[in-house]
Structure formats: structure tokens, C-alpha cells
Amino acid sequence: MRDANRPDSTRRELFRNTGRLAAASTLAGVALPSVHAAGSDLIQVALVGCGGRGTGAAANALSTKSGPIKLVAMADIFPERLWNSYKNLHGDKELSCRIDVPIERQFIGFDAYKKALDCLKPGDVAIFATPPAFRWVHFTYAIEKGLNVFMEKPVTVDGPTSKRMIELGEKAGKKNLKVGVGLMSRHSRAMQEQAKRVHDGAIGEIVLQRGYRMHGPVGYFESLPTPRGTKELMYQIQRFHSFLWASGGNYSDFYIHIIDHLCWMKNAWPVKAQALGGRHYKKSPGGLDYIDQNFDTYSVEYTYADGTKFFFDGRCMTGCDQLYASYLHGSKGSGIVSKAGDIGQPSSLYKTQSLKRHDLLWESKIKPEERDPYQNEWNDLVEAIRKDKPYNEVERGVKGSLVTSMGRMAAHTGQEITFEDMLNCKHEFAPGLDKLNSDSPAPLQADKNGKYPVPNPGITKKREY
């Protein structure tokens, strides 16, 4: 699909290079000599999933200052995405000297991740920034190869893959592999200080939490029917936010950060959820029906074991009031966790429920070099690798993903869903992803009218579609 914002010259470069990429991928089964300098402390990095988040993660990895680090391999199923990522990274003057990804280490296809990881040696780092459904597939191979890993959130989208990832996380731990999960709020120095103060009782017992992400449609939240001539599988992967099997939908992919960091502030995970949600007037400007599986609105009541409530509201609708922030209410005061967005600083605490400046108890003041949680999480991971410190965020990442899925399933089924219900739900959205190839049918199939199944609360109760 053409991006109207991309100049034609870029597209010409792409098509000139696509043939070279395909040829290189065909030859990639040939054993390549190690690109690691023997005896050095160089860390090599392979990027699997070259979209915006993957490109950003690679840039953060290459911006760490603790020792030599290089990007040596890239993989994606879309040639255009890989080429644009490479061009953006290599075009950065500060990063270009740390990029060594010739055409023979640029891989395209469903098995491209293996070829990229085969370019690394044990102890190097794999970045996984593909749609979340593939996380367990790629993580399995990385563990076999003895690689440290940074994986984007969510790390799971359903119960069966959550159990699988917990087991893989334990396996990685036994091999002393370092694994970071892209829930960057946990590496916000402002939120770290706030969490310490809250856990020490600065605002008493937490009695209520509120989270909001309400704005117009973004990302691939909504999708029109698959364009003629486009493979259904590739379309669903490309527009992964629209399909529950690929991403957990917009609820999991968009809302997990606020859900995770509020659970952190409570120092607990909710045990159950009930929810509302629905599709409203999902018609495109041209009058076509959108075929994605997302609800336009979600309102979830999470409950902790002690009875405390955490309310989350999400909305993707044009023309409505926008609110994107998170709040704490304690028995002795209140707090703003994220002022705007997922990690909006400063974080603050108040002696009343007013959230007003005149009642301020504390406000974060962070050194400029530590204000970016995206960079902090990479600094922390690479330091753990170099100093061989324990570092495994998988279990926490799975629980954050599972609690997010729990709220989503409550809205999609109209039932109260417990943590155990979600973990033990047998509906795996897309089994067999480790065997997927370009000729495979899409995990989600349209009906005779070209429509995909959407959640039907109160009708479909045991699974989401």
C-alpha cells in the first residue's frame, strides 16, 4: 500500500533493493563467518521487526555508552519496512558508525528471524519488535542460540501463549540470559521514585486508581477490507492493531503501559475485571465498513485482592474530548503518575485529593540524561549484560500482558473475568505460528460477506470471538 507521505525517490530505492534483499535471503542459509571480534567486549545486535518501534529500540541500543555495540543484522517480512528502517538508522550521523548491516545480513520472510539470529554469537542481543503474536516463536529460537533479548510489549495476547512465555522466561533464567521487556514506564526515573514513596506510605493506602487513554484513531486501530491483490495474511500482519490474534487489538497494544504502571504503584496485580465496550458508528468516510475487531470504547473496572478498584477508560473516536493520563488516590493524599501519555513527566504527589499545585507534596526532578525511559531501559539491560547482573523481566511482562488481556476479554464477553480465567482460557488465537509461511492461510478468516468475526458480549461468553 502506498504511503502518500513517502517521496517517489524512496520508493525507487526500495524496488532497486528488493531484488537484492530477496537474493540475499535465498543465500542466507550458507554459514556466515562470525562478525564478532574475538576476545573483544563488542555486543552485536540483530533487529527482528523493523517498524517504528523496532527502529526506535535499535537506536536506543546503539546509543548506550557502556561499551562497543553494533547492529549487524535486520529481519522483516516487508522489504519496504526493512529498507526504510536501515536508511533511517544509517542516516543518523551519531549511529551510522555502529551499523554494519550489508545486504547479505538483511533478511526478508517468515524465517528471516532465524537467519538474523544466526549472525549473532551467544551473549549478543536480539530485538523482537514484530507483532506480539510472534513473540514466543522468536524467543524460543533466541534461547536455543543463547542470546540475550529485548522484546516489545505486549509479550502475549491470550492464555495459552502466556503459559508458554512464562515457561520460556524460566528457561532463559536458567541459562542466565538477560531479557528486557519494553514496558518503559518501569524505567522512568520519575515513576521509580514515585513508586518508592507510594510503597513507603507517602499517601497512605491506595484506595482508587484511574487510567485514561482517549483520543482519535491512531496506528492501525481500524482497517478497511483487504485490498484486491493483497494476501490476507500479509494484510493482517501489516495492520496488526486491527486483529486480535496479531496484537490483542488496540486494547492490549495501546493500553498496557498505563495498566502496568498503575499495578506497579499498587504493588499488586488485579484478580478480576468487569467491563463495558462497544462498536459505535464504524463507517469509513467513504461509507465502507471497517473490518477490524476493535471496540471504539472500553471501560474496565479492575479489582485487587484487597477490594481496591482500578478504573480504566479507553476510547478511539474522532471529535471527543481527549484525556491520556493516570492517577492515584490514597487514604492520605493523591498522585499523578503520568501527566500526559504513557510516561509524561513530572510525576507528583499531593496531600489532598485535589491534584492542585497548592497541595503538592512531591514532584519528580530528574537529571536530563535520565529523562528518557526508552533509553533508560536499554542502559539498564546492557549494563546487566556487561556486568552479568540478574535481569529477567519476562514474568512481569507476561503478567502485565495477561492483566491487560483480562480487561479486554471482560469487555468482549460481557462476563467477569478473573486472572485465573484469563490464564487458563484455552482459546489460542493463532496456533502454529512457528510453522507460518507466506502461503499459509491467515489465522483470521472472513465470512462469505467478507466480514471478520467481532466480539459479541453476552452471546459469545467463553472466548472473545
Count up the domains in the chain and report the number.
2
Q: Is residue 460 part of a domain?
A: no
Q: For position 40, what pLDDT does the model report?
A: 66
Average pLDDT over residues 142-147: 98
Does one domain contain both 293 and 169?
Answer: no
CATH, residue 57: 3.40.50.720
**Are 174 and 199 within one domain?**
no
What's the CATH number where 343 sits? 3.30.360.10
pTM for this one?
0.91
Same domain, 147 and 216: no
Based on the fold, state whether residues 161 and 210 are members of the same structural domain: no
pLDDT score, position 178? 98
* pLDDT at residue 9 is higher than 90: no
Same domain? For 178 and 308 the reply is no
Q: Same domain, yes or no, for 219 and 177?
A: no
Amino acid letter, residue 155: V
| 215 and 279 housed in the same domain | yes
Q: What is the pLDDT of residue 5?
A: 37
Looking at the structure, tell me whether residues 15 and 117 fall in a common domain.
yes
Q: Which of 393, 423, 458 is the last residue of a domain?
A: 393
- Determine, yes or no, domain membership for 107: yes
- Alpha-carbon gap, residue 280 to 60, rounded angstroms: 39
Q: Is the domain of 221 the same as that of 126?
A: no
pLDDT tops 60 at residue 32: no
Residue 421 pLDDT > 60: yes
Neighbouring CB atoms inside 10 A of 85's CB total 25
- What value does the mean pLDDT of the chain take? 92
| DSSP of 140-171 | HHHHHHT-EEEEPSPS-SSHHHHHHHHHHHHH
Backbone angles phi, psi at 364, to 5 degrees: -65, 140
| pLDDT tens track for 233-278 | 999 999 999 999 999 999 999 999 999 999 999 999 999 999 999 9
What is the rounded average pLDDT of the residues 39-61? 94
Give tens-digit pLDDT for 292-319: 999 999 999 999 999 999 999 999 999 9
Judgement on whether residues 320 and 275 belong to the same structural domain of the protein: yes
* Same-domain pairing of 39 and 165: yes
Would you say residue 330 lies in a domain?
yes
In-domain check, residue 454: no
Domain end among 341, 359, 393: 393
Q: What is the dihedral of CA 264, 270, 273, 276, to 10 degrees?
A: -10
Per-residue model confidence as pLDDT tens digits over 365-414: 999 999 999 999 999 999 999 999 999 999 999 999 999 999 999 999 99
212 and 156 both lie in a single domain: no
Closest CA to 355 of 373, 372, 337, 378: 337
Other beta carbons within 10 angstroms of residue 322's beta carbon come to: 10
Helix axes 159-174, 135-145, angle to 10 degrees: 20
Among 393, 424, 454, residue at a domain's last position: 393
- Which residues form the domain of 409? 186-387+398-435
* Percent of the chain whose pLDDT exceeds 90: 88
pLDDT at 36 over 90: no
Kindly state whether residue 448 falls inside one of the protein's structural domains.
no
In a domain, 463, yes or no: no
